[in-house]
């Protein structure tokens, strides 16, 4: 579980930081995506937050998949878990 959660964070945090919607709020007073207003007078609307969060979640899911693959590799190689504790004794 820890590998998956940290993998999600590793995938989501950089994307969330780099695409933060209010980084350059001065450059636009109103903005729309596909005809839906996402920023009105420098204030992000609910549609704006949804369009921001969806790609962050997608990147986080790719990171979680990587964390799961890492966990499977650890278990498969026997470097953690019950087998590793028995070998060290």
Cα 17 from chain centre: 10
Compute φ and ψ for 38, nearest 5 degrees. Answer: -105, -25
Q: Is the pTM of this model over 0.75?
A: no
Q: Would you state the pLDDT for residue 67?
A: 93
Alpha-carbon distance of 46 to 5, in angstroms, equals 26
pLDDT tens digit sequence for 2-36: 889 999 999 999 888 888 766 665 555 666 667 77
Q: What is the largest CA-CA distance in the chain?
A: 66
pLDDT score of 86: 52
Provide mean pLDDT across the span 54-74. Answer: 92
Beta bridge partners of 30: 40
């Amino acid at each position: 579980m820890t590998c998956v959660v940290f993998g999600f964070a590793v995938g989501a945090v950089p994307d969330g930081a780099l695409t933060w919607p209010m980084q350059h709020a001065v450059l636009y007073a109103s903005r729309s995506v596909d005809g839906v207003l996402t920023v009105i007078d420098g204030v992000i609307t609910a549609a704006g937050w949804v369009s921001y969060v969806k790609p962050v979640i997608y990147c986080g899911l790719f990171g979680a998949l990587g964390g799961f693959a890492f966990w499977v590799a650890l278990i498969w190689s026997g470097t953690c878990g019950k087998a590793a504790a028995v070998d060290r004794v």
